[in-house]
Amino acid sequence: MADLVVQRPEGLYCPPGDFYIDPWRPVARAVITHAHSDHARYGNGHYLAAAPAEGVLRTRLGEIDLQTLPYGERIVHHGVTVSLHPAGHVLGSAQVRLEHRGRVWVASGDYKVAPDPTCAPFEPVRCDVFITESTFGLPIYRWAPDEQLFAQIDAWWSRNLEHGRATVVCCYSFGKAQRLLAGVDPSIGPIVVHGAVEPLNRAYRAEGVSLPETRLVTEVADKTDLKRALVVCPPSAAGSPWIRRFGDARTAFASGWMQVRGNRRRGGYDRGFVLSDHADWPGLMSAIEATQAERVIVTHGSSGALVRYLQECGLQAESFETEYGDDRIEADTVENASSSSELPPEPAA
């Protein structure tokens, strides 16, 4: 029986349905798992995405021909039944379930299984074939509970405040920034965000996600607040003139890559916090097992290691070559960071 999803130069293609999933080249019809720019690119003719993703997709891509689908609702296109199910990655992230002639495939996009108050939780979907990411597909990656992590961040912020220094946390402006904001204690001090972060905060709030009050630099009347603030910005802003407004600040990077010793030092940060929007090794294992899939196709990340492990466990496993990112770089491409409330234009695919 022919595969429901195959590789093409434009991206992952469903032949019977004649559409793509997260294509990296412009196509006529695209099903989008989430709004990170390596998965949702400008230039497609028609977009289908989960309903909670509408705000962030329009914030990032502007005016597009977008059709939304509530989680779990099914539509049929050229005989392929399509439904979208929560991936737990970021707001509006979805796994794509495809059913055709009795066979079920699920393309996960990016996902995590850990609780996250800023998006719908991961929903295991039973299938015959599961297409999984493997960004952190090595056993060394194991995340600590959120309460432990955010207690560390709050304590660090409090110490910096006592010494009159701003606390700068660099993280990706979509998803990671909002999860960070939802987890910290806003009673410690004021919170200032970069201009790339605030439009996405508005999109999250519009979907009912509770976030603390945030301000842009230009909205801070009392400049002494800048020395007390928690500052949330993309990594590119840390090396720009924008960061000088906060004086002798202390900097940190929040990422799953901080699990590996040396990454913080190489980046020149004072601290590193292990915070990821992707599944860790136990999360990948539990998600794959829950699908009860007999065949697993692994995409971006440590795909070779995960394929070998799954084969040793008796599964039919292989990999797809994709052009998705691996979370090492900021997806927003803020070259000249500023306090503007406008996002930079999304680069064309």
Check residue 248 and give its pLDDT: 93
Phi-psi region of 159 (alpha: psi -120 to 50; beta: other; left: phi over 0): alpha
Evaluate whether 170 touches 234 at the Cβ level (below 8 Å): yes
pLDDT in the model for residue 161: 96
Largest CA distance in the chain: 67
142-182 pLDDT, tens digit each: 999 999 999 999 999 999 999 999 999 999 999 999 999 99
Report residue 68: phi and psi, to 5°: -115, 155
Contacts of residue 19, defined as CB under 8 A and 6 or more positions apart, other chains included, come to 13, 27, 28, 29, 30, 31, 48, 77
pLDDT tens track for 288-308? 999 999 999 999 988 999 999
User: For the chain, which residues make up each domain, given as ranges?
Assistant: 6-140+277-319, 146-273
Sheet holding 6-8, edge to edge: 6-8, 11-14, 19-21, 29-31, 46-50, 66-69
- Residue 191's nearest CA partner among 207, 176, 202, 180 is 180
CA gap 237, 29 in Å, rounded: 35
Residue type, 190: P
Task: Quote the DSSP letter at residue 42.
Answer: B
Q: Which CATH architecture has domain 6-140+277-319?
A: 4-Layer Sandwich (3.60)
Pair 212, 178: CB distance under 8 Å: no
How confident is the model at residue 336, as a pLDDT?
30
pLDDT tens digits along 233-262: 999 998 899 999 999 999 999 999 999 877
* Residue 110 to residue 17: CA distance in whole angstroms: 22
What is the reported pLDDT for 297?
A: 98
| Architecture category of domain 146-273 in CATH | 3-Layer(aba) Sandwich (3.40)
pLDDT at 348: 27
Average per-residue pLDDT in the chain?
92
Each residue's pLDDT tens digit, 86-99: 999 999 999 999 99
